[in-house]
A and B are shown apart, each in its own frame.
Chain A
């Protein structure tokens, strides 16, 4: 589904991503774990076209998308839930969701809305509420719902559990599993390595811009160095 090969990303003089390659197969949950500043968000933003790599290639469903501008990628089936949610705070819940379906024909908005409300009943209750007044957990749900409105083939989630109480983290991961069950391919970036690796088919560990190890979720969970660095011993 997605194949990233030898990408390098620079912020001015800072070399943030140094020759990263990985792939995500159809229907998989793949997680990218790593400490603060490892380059996880930078990687996702490069895939979704907000940042660019002068080297390598990014192939999505057989097409090199490295030079496709960000807005065009959505209609190709790629959606991202950005770090920090970045919902439209001055717009209502439903308007946020409508924006998620911006590239879809208007006849598809209703069915997608129904599906998202099914997944997040809370959003249905709050649909006329201004998004800025939602709680942090609700905002995360809205951000996920908004990304799902484009009916993506691959959804990239950037730290969906950030700043949430354990019960909400559970809820978010339940939804990730549910999406997985219906066949959505997921690229999950997390600092909560324990949770991420336990739901993921495969994972990659990113350290200061480089992939240092990879394996199936359970392999990484039992890997000594991963345990030490990311699982608290």
Chain B
């Protein structure tokens, strides 16, 4: 049973990574930049939910909505102020700017909300009024899956399916793919590249908010640096699956969650990140574009 428990823990953690990785990968796909501030948007989202629920006693759904709205706006503002002026700049300049924005968000959070670690109020409390765990009990209680874990998995699946439909079926989603491939040609089609990029940041940041709330509900501690490690892991997941690929981010996220959980359970908690990166390096040696990344050769 502990094996199955680990699988489920891994999948639910991986689901959260996948939601974050989707934002990373979509932004990379269209803006060809690594938005290192993405992880810190997660933290801002978690803080919004924390204040809504903890300080104002609002219902969880309102907390999540507030987080989503604030992060969507934040993502668009970051893009507009920090990245858009650098559209023609060398990629190193953009990368350094992204790191700068990341620190700005962390330090800003520290000034506004203090550096001390806070206890997050999960959107589904771990125990119900009778003191029993809020979890699905299987095999006579041998296998216990918390509702938060279930919710993470369900949300991740819904997000994945919605994004696939959005990019595959809708006009805006297709325009987004067109921009990812060739911005000049997209403009010649009449697509407004600037607003498409802005929309992508909005979607990615909204997802980061959701991931932040889910993550802090599963691991209820919150500080200004809460987002940075999951951000890096999700970035790894995106590279693992093939950066720029939506199914890749999904697959990469889930696998990363499983590998991390198993490394913690069977190897060593301290070494889990090292194991994750070792696997990443091996995968990239065999498949340089990541698991689902692909290159389409250009015909001359």
Interface residues of A (CB under 8 A from B): 48-50, 70-75, 79-80, 82, 86-91, 95, 98-100, 102-103, 106, 130, 132-136, 139, 146-147, 150, 163
Contacts and interface: CB of A to CB of B under 8 A. Distances in A.
Complex A-B, nearest 8 residue pairs according to Cβ-Cβ distance, in ascending order: A74-B190, A132-B296, A103-B190, A86-B185, A70-B187, A89-B296, A99-B189, A102-B189
Contact of A91 (B171, B181, B190): B181
A74 B188 contact: yes
B184 interface: yes
A89 B298 contact: yes
Nearest to A131: B296
A71 B181 contact: no
Contact of B171 (A79, A102, A135, A147): A102
Interface centre among A71, A72, A95 (most CB of B within 10 A): A71
Interface of B: 171, 174-175, 177-178, 181-182, 184-193, 296-300
B182 A106 contact: no
Contacts of B184: 50, 82, 86
A132 B299 CA distance: 7
A82 B296 contact: no
Interface centre among A87, A88, A130, A132 (most CB of B within 10 A): A88
Given A74-B190, A89-B296, A82 B171 contact: no
Contacts of B175: 99, 102
A90 B177 contact: yes
A106 B169 CA distance: 13
A99 B182 CA distance: 12
16 contacts: A49-B187, A71-B189, A71-B191, A74-B190, A80-B188, A86-B184, A88-B181, A88-B182, A88-B185, A89-B298, A90-B296, A91-B177, A95-B174, A99-B175, A103-B189, A132-B297
Contacts of B296: 89-90, 130, 132-133
Contacts of A130: 296
B177 A88 contact: yes
Contacts of A82: 184-185, 188
A146 B174 CA distance: 14
Contacts of A49: 187
Interface centre among A82, A95, A102, A132 (most CB of B within 10 A): A102
Contacts of B185: 82, 86-88
Given A82-B185, A132-B297, A75 B190 contact: yes
Given A99-B175, A102-B190, 9 more contacts: A49-B187, A70-B188, A71-B187, A72-B190, A74-B189, A88-B181, A133-B296, A134-B299, A139-B299
A142 to B, nearest CB: 11
A147 B185 CA distance: 10
B188 A135 contact: no
B263 to A, nearest CB: 34
B174 A90 contact: no
B299 A50 contact: no
A232 to B, nearest CB: 24
A142 B40 CA distance: 43
Nearest to A162: B300
Given A88-B182, A91-B177, A132-B296, A71 B190 contact: yes
A93 to B, nearest CB: 13
A146 B299 CA distance: 18
Contact of A135 (B189, B191, B192, B299): B299
B262 to A, nearest CB: 34
A139 to B, nearest CB: 6
A98 B297 CA distance: 22
Contacts of A91: 174, 177-178, 181
B142 to A, nearest CB: 46
Interface centre among B182, B188, B190 (most CB of A within 10 A): B188
Nearest to A86: B185
Interface centre among A99, A106, A134, A139 (most CB of B within 10 A): A99
Contacts of B171: 98, 102, 106
B299 A48 contact: no
B195 to A, nearest CB: 9
Contacts of B300: 136, 163
A87 B174 CA distance: 13
A135 B193 CA distance: 28
Contacts of B191: 71, 99, 102
Contacts of B174: 91, 95, 98-99
B140 to A, nearest CB: 50
B182 A150 contact: no
B25 to A, nearest CB: 14
B260 to A, nearest CB: 31
Nearest to B174: A95
Nearest to A139: B299
